[in-house]
Structure formats: C-alpha cells, structure tokens
Amino acid sequence: MPISIIRAFLTTLLIILPVTSFAADLYVRDGGTGNCSDWTNACDQLTTAEAAASRGDTIYVADGSYGGITFDVAESGTSIVTIKKATVAAHGTDTGWQDAYGDGQATIGLITINTGYLTIDGVTRNATNWKDSTSYGFVLNGGVSDSNAVYTGNTENPSNVTVAYCYIPGAGTSTLGNRLIYAVYWGAGTHIHHNLLSQAGQNHIRFGATSNVTVEYNYFDTNYSEADAHGESIQTTSGADNGVVRYNYFENTAGTGCIVLNSVQDWKIYGNVFLDIASASNGIIGVTSGETADNVLVYNNTFADSPTTFGCVAGGTCTNWDFQNNIIVGATTGPTFSDGFTVNSYNASDSSSFGTNFQTISTGVFVGYSENNFRLSSATTAGATLTGYAADLLGNTRGADGTWDRGAYEFGVTGESVNQTSTPSSIAGSWK
C-alpha cells in the first residue's frame, strides 16, 4: 500500500477517534502549599482543588479545618465529582501520605452547590452509635445549601447530589433560615444518607422542586421552632415528588411537624423510628393548611412518646394515604387521622383502637423501651405483607420466620437499636 494512503488513513483515524479523558485525584491538606497533585504537593483549601477539578475526579481531603466552597464544575453527562474524606485505608496516592492525615475529621464551611453530579462522602461513622458526632469523616459547619438564598430566581437546578457520612450541626437555638441541607430547587436524584443532622435552628432538610429524593440511615437529632421560624425536620415545597424516607431515627424534633409534605405526591415513609417528638401542630407526618399531598405510604414505623396526628389535621387536602404495620406507644396526643386515609390497618398501639386488624400492645413488646431500644422482645400479631418493603431498619428480611411484624424492627434480629451498642456493619457500609 502506498505510504501516502497509509498517512491519509492514520490522519483520518486520529480525527475521528474520540478524545479520552482520564479521571484524576486531587489532594487537600490543611497547611498544604502545592498544586493538589499528591499529598506532598497538596493544596490548602477545597476552593483550589474545586477550581482544578474535572468531571470524574476525586478530591481527597485530609484531617483539618477548611473554608467553604461554591461547587460549579461544568457538568459532562452523568460524570461525577467526588469530595471524599481521606482515610488510612483509602486515600488515593501514597506519595507523601502520612496516616495522621486520615485518622480524624475534616471540618468544612458552607458548601454551595451550583452544578450537579456531586458526591460529598465523609466515608466513616460509628456503626454502633449514629449520634457519635466525632466519628463522621466530614463536619459540615455551614450546612449544605443550593446557590439561592431565597425561593425565587434560581436557574441552577443541580441534580444527582449525594451527601453521606457527614455530621452537620446547626445553630443550637431557634434561628430563622437555619436549614442544615437547603435543597430548594435542586434537581432530581438527591440522596441523603448515613448522616447526623443535629440542633437545626429551623429545618434539618428543606426540599423544593427536588424529585426522586432518597433520605435513609440518618439520625435527625433536635431542631427548634418559634412563631417566626416554624421548624420541621423535613419540609417539602411544590415539586418535591417521588420521595423515600426510610430507616432513619428522628428524635426531639419540634415545630409544625416532623415530616411536612406540602404540594407533593408519591412519598414512601417506612422503617423509621420517631422518638420524643416535641411538637407537631400540623401532624407528625402532616401537611400545612391549604396545601396538598397525594399518595403517601406510611409503613412499618415505630412512634414513641410523641404526638401522633397524621395527614391534613390542620387543613389542606390529603388523598390516597396508606397507614399500615406501624407501632404507636406513649402517644402524647392522638392517634388522630385526617380525611384522605384510604387504608388504615394492621397497626398496633397501647392506646385506643383505630383502623382495622388492630393489635393492642404494651411497651413490654420492646427489648428496652426505657433505653430507647425498640427491637421487639416478641413477635407481634402478623401485619400486612407489603410487596417491596421486605427489610427492616437493620436489613433483616421481614416475615422470614413466618410473621411479618409491625414496627420498624423485625422480631428475632441480633444487635441493638442504632443509638445503642451493636448495629450490624452491613448497614453502615452499604452505601460506601
């Protein structure tokens, strides 16, 4: 074959072949002075690494204290940028690495998110005590916000954002606008898991126009509320459809409700524990007056020492709500249900009977009620078999012994409740 033809062929091949870009690792270390290329040459702040990042990159962060960042790396299809806590076991390159960089926490200021496909992964927590704030890889002192400080004018809509293994502390007192994860106008695919959200001045999480949300394996500990700053643990606004809230603990939350669903449809709330909820004027799972919520499923939760009012008790319009296999003990008010519950059955309580297939129980059904250990000491009367919901909070298969139990925990499991002493490691590691 003539050389000229070969040259022409090779030239054409180079033109038509796609250019392949390779993901890189970037390194951030408190006190670093380099270009983020390895631990010896680590940069000092996340802002430097974010400015240098491309899609597919991982930014490893060592122990230390860092300022906040505005994340706006241009999107490229579904390629993700990951901000990840460096640990002794996983820290990218070994060049310049010292184990002391990865045996503690990294504290980060406000993270403002303008573009999507971002994963913030603190990597670690204490699997036996989800309230152990010192065990989370990241401490997000500024919470996590979208790019808009008000409810209008946002055009960013970052989608597919994940926040995991982070301790996110709040103001510690009633504070208007203190929302730990402010996901108003985020796009679809938000995933919030394995975090400790604590002492929020108003909301732990606020969603708006954020569809296909999953919130799981988190501990929501204490929020505050007052007349000018109505509090909720999770609050939605219009457009936050197709949500899942499962396998979480909610403790000592206050305000108009624990989970308040406004102008939404298709939410599934199952396998959670609600403990010592202080107030819930619109319902522990409720709707604000004048708002709507359609097709809400509430399955296999445990409600302890809390106000137990559900649905549109303060007004609004609830349609197609389904309440099954739940346990209510020590109710401070209720149980009360608004109109709109098409199914209310196979529940259990130590209070007066409600719905169909009801079981009367006592706090003795739990392994350690006074210690907040809500594992079952004996099987309940069989609940409804619910297709698609066949695991409890610890990952055990419901009905494996022939009885689908009521409440958040299936009878016969080993270990303790999540804030006690022995949660299976499979839960802690299932999303790493």
pLDDT value, residue 370: 94
pLDDT value, residue 413: 59
Q: How many CB atoms lie within 10 A of CB 216?
A: 20
Which of 13-17, 301-305, 310-314, 336-340 is the least confident region?
A: 13-17
- Token reading at 238: 């219009």
Residue type, 336: T
Q: What is the pLDDT of residues 254-265, one digit of tens each?
A: 999 999 999 999
146, pLDDT greater than 80: no
pLDDT value, residue 337: 95
Residue-range definition of the domain harbouring residue 144: 22-369
Residue 212: inside a domain: yes
Residue 383: inside a domain: no
pLDDT value, residue 227: 85
CA angle 206, 156, 219 (to 5 degrees): 25
Q: Comparing C-alpha atoms, which of 77, 245, 266 is closest to residue 160?
A: 77
pLDDT value, residue 173: 87
144, pLDDT greater than 80: no
Helices H / strands E in the chain, number of each: 3, 36
Residue with token string 């020492």: 305
Which of 131-140, 149-158, 282-291 is the least confident region?
A: 149-158
- Token reading at 424: 């299976």
Residue 313: inside a domain: yes
Question: Looking at residue 264, which CATH number applies to its domain?
Answer: 2.160.20.10
Burial class (CB within 10 angstroms; exposed 0-12, middle 13-18, buried 19+) of 72: middle
CA angle 400, 404, 406 (to 5 degrees): 140
Q: What is the pLDDT of residues 191-217, one digit of tens each?
A: 999 999 999 989 999 998 889 999 999
Residue 398: inside a domain: no
pLDDT value, residue 304: 97
232, pLDDT greater than 50: yes
| C-alpha distances out from residue 399 to 354, 380, 422, Å | 24, 11, 22
Residue 235: inside a domain: yes
427, pLDDT greater than 60: no
Residue 123: inside a domain: yes
Residue 49: inside a domain: yes
**Binning pLDDT at 50, 70 and 90, where does residue 40 land?**
very high
Burial class (CB within 10 angstroms; exposed 0-12, middle 13-18, buried 19+) of 408: buried
State the total domains in the chain. 1
Using a pLDDT cut of 70, give the percent of the chain over it.
88
Residue 382: inside a domain: no
